């Protein structure tokens, strides 16, 4: 009996162990399943409430700074009450505008030519081409009323961002109605529009860079590099068009009016403020470059950006107030897709005070229409009525049905574009002469000023808007980490107060080395671009480097998604900032954190920059010595290369599906406003001596390999400085494709 019981007990124990063993096996299998690696997410701001909109960080930072400058200006203006004070303000504004816009060219012969005439019942159209300065041709159509005795009033109509310009049906309706009511109308092609295409390409019979706004930004960047706004060319064409009108015997010079819609409204504000001959002005839906536009729709294109105007306390409001007490009708719509109604209302409210103090209350009118961005019938009727009243024209202002011509019939040139017909100069050619003088001045300073590099650094600090990031608050905030084979990859941010945060991926080798050399990694495609296993960053980590891949503001995870590509850099220009200056500060903030990291040798912090991110890296190293050496892969050669060549591709973004009409977006994230007034990229490189720099695969303005002549031209001065310091070997030029690990090893070997 006992034997049977023992057998049963043994069987029970074996069965129980089998069950338990099976359960353990299942548990282990489940645990393995639970520990299966999750897919890597390299976004630092993943599931982070405070920084849940990283695409707005850069534009928000810039907008707040510009708004603070506008608020300062607004407080000053709010204190103005008397007629004498407003007149003093007008004098001050004129002085500041002269500084912002710069001197206009000498008035030279217009050499107007009539290339054709269209005759219709009650009016004729003269096709005019004139030279606003020698060799710079402007095309336009002059609507002349028939059977009108004596001198007639004349309206200058500058056109908004419509590629057809005044040939568009809407503009034809307006011009027809004005001329049929007894007013002469001169409608001209702004630069980049109509027949005034600046980058004409015979292969596509159009601009090589795209439609009007893209061209405006394209040639606007030339001007910004040289320290002014391309608005100068729009303004000057308008002033010279008025010169043409008043030169005619059939025009009454005391009855000149001006209007324009959208971009033309902006130009109307400019010209009407600066040319006292404009008696009556109607800016319609203009780019109201004040705090409200920046807070809502963001900065407009290049000609709407007056260089450093926010820094100098000038807004569009000042342009309107400069006209007081002359007749002005401000026109806006309620649902504008591009502009800000609140800003327009506030501009009017302030301008009313100036007009009231200067005894012109009845001369300022604000018309607000219920519409999207358009010139509605109500607006057009008000326009006719206003001009007829203030230019003393009798008759019925009601709109009549217009005679509309096919676009080609209103072409002034037989080719449809100035370039293939007349040739002549474009904005690039004019700016090139300005830049040549600036570059010659820089070269002279290099040769004859012993303190040239000190001057360069001081000017670069000021013009770039660089802010010293040194702070005890600079520290890493971890928001995740991945263990990889042989190293860890941490997701960190450096918080800059409540303004923004800088995302960083930190790669640290799993070894027992107490101190590592470190590399800051900068790729314009973002910090994640080279972070995959087997990539360039991993190769450096396996060689014993700690690598910090960073997205400075506007790149990768913090790329500007709050506005179009140009809005961040153009907002910066208003307030005297720059994207390279901001990014340089971001880079140096990271270098400061790395220098205090317990596993990093602070004397061996190098940096690798790729393509256009080499530019802010060069600024960063010039301003701060925490970065001991640079490896520059595909660095643009110079700003000179942009200013001296008609075509460039730095700052270009291909626009998917844009076709020939809108193939690119153009930005100025690579440039510093006014740089060529004081320095160029080679000068900044020279300020980094004697630290090590290697330039591999230098690129030209088209972002392709620079030829030997350009390489020699743009490295000659830095090499001379390194030679003078007896460290010629610390500056190297290498071909593109040279092994990055070898370059980094060289850069971080030995002492600084």
pLDDT digits (tens, 9 = 90+) for 403-420: 899 999 999 999 999 999
How far does Cα 402 stand from its chain's mean position? 39
* pLDDT value for 1: 44
pTM equals 0.94
| 507: pLDDT strictly greater than 90 | yes
| 188: pLDDT strictly greater than 60 | yes
Pairing mode of beta strands 200-201, 278-284: unpaired
* pLDDT value for 290: 80
- Structure token pair of residue 278: 């404009």
Residue pLDDT, tens place only, 548-592 = 999 999 999 999 999 999 999 999 999 999 999 999 999 999 999
Residue pLDDT, tens place only, 712-744 = 999 999 999 999 999 999 999 999 999 999 999
Mean of the pLDDT values across residues 332-359? 96
With contact defined as beta carbons under 8 Å apart, do 631 and 696 qualify? Answer: yes
Domains and CATH numbers, the chain: 91-191+230-414 (3.40.50.1820), 447-747 (3.40.50.1820)
What's the number of CA atoms in the CB half-sphere (13 Å) around residue 738?
A: 19
* pLDDT value for 30: 52
Encode burial over 722-751: b for 16+ CB neighbours within 10 A, e otherwise.
beeeeeeebbbebeeeeebeebbebbbeee
**Percent of the chain scoring above 70 in pLDDT:** 95
Encode burial over 194-206: b for 16+ CB neighbours within 10 A, e otherwise.
bbbbbbbeeeeeb
* pLDDT value for 9: 45
User: Which of these, 309, 265, 352, 281, lies nearest to 573 by C-alpha position?
Assistant: 309
Q: Which secondary-structure segment (H or E) carries 162?
A: none
């Amino acid at each position: 009996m006992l034997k049977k019981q023992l057998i049963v007990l043994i069987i029970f124990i074996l069965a129980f162990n089998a069950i338990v063993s099976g359960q353990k096996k299942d548990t282990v299998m489940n645990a393995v399943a639970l520990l299966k690696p999750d897919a890597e997410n390299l976004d630092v701001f993943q599931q982070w409430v405070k920084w849940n909109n990283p695409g707005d960080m850069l534009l928000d930072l810039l907008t707040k700074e510009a708004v603070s400058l506008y608020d300062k200006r607004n407080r000053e203006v709010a204190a103005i009450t008397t007629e004498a004070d407003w007149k003093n303000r007008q004098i001050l504004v004129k002085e500041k505008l002269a500084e912002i816009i710069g001197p206009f060219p000498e008035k030279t012969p217009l050499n107007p030519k009539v290339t054709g005439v269209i005759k219709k019942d009650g009016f004729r159209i003269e096709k005019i081409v004139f030279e606003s300065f020698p060799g710079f041709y402007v095309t336009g159509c002059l609507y002349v009323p028939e059977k009108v005795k004596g001198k007639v009033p004349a309206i200058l109509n500058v056109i908004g961002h419509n590629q057809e310009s005044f040939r568009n049906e809407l503009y034809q309706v307006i011009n027809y109605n004005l001329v049929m009511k007894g007013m002469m109308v001169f409608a001209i092609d702004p630069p980049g529009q109509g027949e005034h295409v600046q980058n004409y390409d015979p292969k596509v019979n159009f601009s090589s860079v795209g439609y009007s706004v893209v061209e405006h930004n394209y040639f606007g960047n030339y001007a910004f590099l040289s320290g002014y706004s391309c608005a100068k060319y729009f303004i000057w064409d308008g002033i010279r068009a008025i010169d043409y009108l008043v030169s005619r015997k059939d025009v009454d010079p005391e009855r000149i009016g001006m209007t324009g819609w959208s971009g033309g409204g902006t130009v109307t504000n400019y010209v009407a403020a600066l040319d006292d001959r404009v008696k009556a002005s109607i800016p319609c839906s203009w780019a109201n470059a004040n705090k409200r536009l920046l807070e809502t729709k963001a900065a407009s294109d290049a000609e709407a950006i007056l260089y450093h105007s926010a820094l100098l306390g000038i807004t569009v409001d000042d342009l309107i107030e400069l006209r007081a007490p002359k007749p002005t009708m401000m026109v806006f719509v309620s649902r504008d897709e591009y502009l800000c109604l609140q800003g327009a209302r506030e501009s009017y409210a302030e301008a009313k005070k100036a007009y009231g103090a200067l005894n012109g209350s009845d001369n300022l009118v604000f018309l607000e229409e219920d519409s999207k961005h358009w010139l509605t019938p109500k607006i057009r009727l008000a326009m006719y009525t206003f001009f007829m009243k203030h230019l003393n024209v009798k008759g019925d202002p009601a709109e009549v049905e217009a005679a509309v011509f096919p676009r080609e019939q209103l072409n002034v040139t037989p080719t449809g574009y100035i370039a293939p017909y007349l040739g002549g100069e474009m904005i690039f050619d004019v700016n090139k002469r300005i830049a040549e003088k600036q570059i010659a001045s820089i070269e002279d300073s290099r040769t004859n000023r012993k303190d040239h590099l000190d001057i360069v650094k001081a000017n670069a600090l000021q013009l770039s808007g660089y802010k010293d990031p040194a702070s005890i608050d600079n520290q890493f905030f971890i928001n995740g980490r991945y263990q990889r084979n042989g190293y860890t990859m941490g997701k960190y941010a450096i918080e800059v107060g409540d303004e923004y945060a800088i995302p960083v991926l930190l790669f640290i080798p799993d070894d027992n080395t107490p101190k590592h050399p470190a590399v800051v990694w900068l790729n314009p495609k973002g910090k994640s671009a080279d972070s995959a296993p087997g990539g360039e960053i991993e190769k450096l980590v396996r060689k014993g480097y700690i690598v910090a891949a960073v997205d400075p503001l506007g790149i990768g995870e913090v790329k500007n998604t709050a506005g179009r590509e140009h809005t961040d850099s153009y907002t910066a220009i208003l307030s005297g900032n720059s994207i390279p200056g901001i990014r340089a500060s971001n880079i140096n903030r990271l270098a400061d954190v790395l220098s205090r990291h317990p596993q990093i040798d602070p004397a061996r912090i190098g940096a690798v920059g790729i393509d256009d991110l080499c530019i802010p890296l060069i600024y960063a190293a010039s301003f701060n010595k925490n970065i001991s050496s640079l490896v520059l892969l595909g660095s643009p050669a110079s700003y000179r290369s942009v200013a001296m060549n008609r075509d460039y591709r730095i700052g270009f973004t291909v626009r998917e599906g844009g076709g020939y009409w809108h193939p690119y977006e153009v930005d100025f994230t690579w440039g510093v406003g006014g740089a060529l007034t004081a320095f160029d990229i080679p000068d900044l490189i020279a300020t980094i001596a004697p630290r090590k720099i290697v330039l591999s695969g230098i690129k030209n303005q088209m972002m392709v390999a620079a030829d030997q002549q350009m390489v020699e031209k743009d490295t000659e001065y830095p090499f001379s400085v390194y030679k003078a310091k007896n460290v010629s070997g610390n500056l190297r030029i290498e071909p593109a494709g040279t092994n990055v690990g070898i370059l980094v090893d060289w850069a971080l070997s030995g002492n600084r």
